[in-house]
Structure 1
Amino acid sequence: MPLSHDDQVTLLKDILNNHQADCCGSVAECEQIERLVKSLMVNTQVDENVKNILQEVYQYSQHGAQTADLDQHISSNQDNLSQWVNNIDQFS
């Protein structure tokens, strides 16, 4: 059974919150973020403001999946992570 739009948004925010709180993550989480963002980007229920945020999140996840030091990548994006979650909450 596929995840609903709300479930996808909740899962995305959970992963981003975990990255922000733990300052670490996995390549698999970055790949999961990419899949969630792709699915949400084509969903007509998603607010255009959220789609702009999703573009930034997608770039973050792509870079994270390819970097040699994922924990450093997450640490350097701490402000972005909390801002993205706050902004997604505002528009969804």
Structure 2
Amino acid sequence: MGFIGWIILGLIVGAIVKMVLPGRVGGGWITSLVLGVVGAILGGWIGDALFNDGEMSFWSLGSWLLAILGGLIVAGVYGAITGRNRTAS
């Protein structure tokens, strides 16, 4: 799957991450979609580094799982950096 495919998948993953982690990803939908794209690209890079599988299909379950995992990682790091995970006292 090419770079554009990972971007499209990342937009979908961003929406999924926004639904899975509501309130933890600040900045609204735009931020979630951008984090999803970055996460999908990260997931694709990790998958290529670990499995060296070559081209992954857009409809492959592995591509989706790597993109979602990457999106959750990026959203978690973003939340940790911006302090969204802390509870108000």
Structure 1 length-normalised TM: 0.30
Greater helix share, structure number: 1
**Structure with max Cα Rg:** 2
Structure 2 length-normalised TM: 0.31
